Structure 1
């Protein structure tokens, strides 16, 4: 089984016998191991394993130990950590068998840990995780992945639900769903699990696990909402993107992206538009963010190109409907109108506009 450790003082099973599980009770799963001897021995085994996982959160040392229960049964426990950025324990591949000489018959499924920075709107990966996608430079570049980059390789059936969840900063939130993962070896089915926890600065830190379930599960179908957005790729001649209005960060390209643009977060934290255009954009965004208008338009925006120069675009967009206090998202359409070779006045060390939140 695979046990997630994304939130402090909570363990749940997210995979059993290579099948996805929606954060099932850890103790409840052990009760299904009938050879342990019933409810009370199962609780005793669960408490012992819970203590070992607490230790593993600190030392990340793999576990392979027998424990003798009060009923005389010997239970062998094998645990292999799934480690995320910053040497944090994100999950444990756990095998439990009755008898000191019992052993697993197959290898655990592939799983990677990652973090989502809800302020910077970036995904951080370990070198192991980046290598699984055939892109080890993602981990060594030290910049993290922008949301559009990550969502090119991991597509979930209800993308809008995931995006609205992880854009919040509230601890104790979670999201679980099936995903299609694209790697150099092809595509496969996986389950994506994310959870938010308290951080020292009082803001939520999002940790996640992506684990392969292709042995038992087919890649998910898209939701009606996501399918409708995806259809735009085939009928629009413009470039359309899902935008987080509060931070003015791109979240997911609905069509193919504008080529050769150095978007914020991909190389450095400079705003992508020319500084003379940034204020015009935020003046319009502020009207939308404040609820004064559901749509906006800004013409003649210069977007920084890789290697120098600017691509000039006209942009227009509208707010997506949302329930309650959810984050404001907009669909923005870019139409390329020209090019410019004006000098770039912004140094690479600039961190850009802080956003409206």
Structure 2
């Protein structure tokens, strides 16, 4: 198990990682999720030994890692830019770390690692002859070849297009599961984090504000920051008899009676109900239209529809009564600002 206790990293007077406490069980995949500047990459670098903590501890299987040089930690790390050597072949790139450790079964480990990532038979090919997705696989194979006890990945798919990113994410997840690998995975993408991780840790300004399984976090975000970062719309509501008085008017709601600061899930809005909504914008993706609509005086909402919506037209929408999450006491205002990701 990887354990972090009161871990703090500072750059001068700036605190990049602020008193993090976190347990990562052996064999689990944990995603560090947050916007730019949240401290997720700095936290990863501290675990790797690339940043020295100002305070706190890092232990792996009971052993103190603070002060242990990078090359002596039983960890492997993969960066977004892959850090491949363009003048070396695929096999030589994969074997680079192994040769530095003096391993006596280099050729077999290289072959096994390339097989794991679907590059069997490409060992002699030059790196420059590979596609971006294949280069990503080589970097992943190089990380696996040293057989690290813990793998750390810092935005490993950030430079790839969406379709390739989704395919490689599935492949990497399959490798993690087959090997029973312990993984710390940094990303700013909520869908990526939810797809790969057993536990998602959301960071805000250097602090871990929620750690939960993806489905648990989706159903019950711990704070307004988490809810907004996940794409929820946050408003004040008053609930009674299964209805919520909101800036959008009166809507079905299964929250307990009373006043709430409430988050409406992104997928809680659907077409075909009895609520009038005016289309203010539209976009097309993955074979479907998404309409941005105005309801009452509330924040804009998005709804997926089958037909091309006309700007200025009126749609009838429905709101799932179970699509709300309570964030505590109301604040008395209805902010519409979004968190930059």
**Shared fold by TM > 0.5?**
no
TM-score by length of 2: 0.31
TM-score by length of 1: 0.30
